[in-house]
Amino acid sequence: MLTIKHIIENAAVIDLQSQNKTEALKELVDVLAKRPEVTDPQEFLRCILERERVISTGIGIGLAMPHVKIPSVTDFVLAIGRSTHGIDFDALDGHPVHIVAMIGSSEKQAGEFLKVLAKLVLQLKDKSLRRQVLLTPDPEKVKEILLENEA
């Protein structure tokens, strides 16, 4: 299994240009679609959007964690999008989302998936860490910040 460290090191970090949830999700899927672990980008997008229609992955505190476990993803992938203006994500607390951490994995990684998701949520629950992630000028530095503060 890949470690959370390896997943973060290989993450894509972007500054989102999108103004709404659907476009932000598409923007992050487009980034992950370039990864060899994602063998069917259309299925990835379809599953992400379906998951979001069931219930928002906007968990509150300015954070959303869209995620899928599907056969066309061979191993963990992570993309982190930042939005300084915030995006209406239908979050549980009703507030805009500023950090979107999208995770994909193989359906065979269900147990590991929950651990990875839990670690990222635990890490990003820290208000000062979220602020650093959002305000660091260089998106690549976000990975360093997450690795330095690994839960």
Residue 51, judged by CB atoms within 10 A of its CB (0-12, 13-18, 19+), counts as middle
Angle at 135 between CA 131 and CA 136, to 5 degrees: 115
Is the model's pLDDT at 15 over the cut of 90? yes
Q: Is 97 helix (H, G, I), strand (E, B) or coil?
A: strand
Average of per-residue pLDDT across 104-121:
90
* pLDDT class of 110 with cuts at 50, 70, 90: confident
- Kind and range of the H or E element at 6? helix 4-9
Is the model's pLDDT at 1 over the cut of 50? no
* 110-124 helix and 127-135 helix, angle to the nearest 10 degrees: 90
Residue 1: count of CB within 10 angstroms of its CB: 12
Q: Which domains does the chain have, with CATH numbers?
A: 4-145 (3.40.930.10)
Phi, psi of 104, deg, nearest 5? -125, 145
Copy the structure tokens of residue 34: 């370039």
Is the model's pLDDT at 87 over the cut of 80? yes
* pLDDT class of 150 with cuts at 50, 70, 90: confident
- Separation between Cα atoms, residue 119 and residue 7, nearest integer Å: 12
Per-residue confidence (pLDDT) for residue 59, from 0 to 100: 95
Copy the structure tokens of residue 73: 């993803």
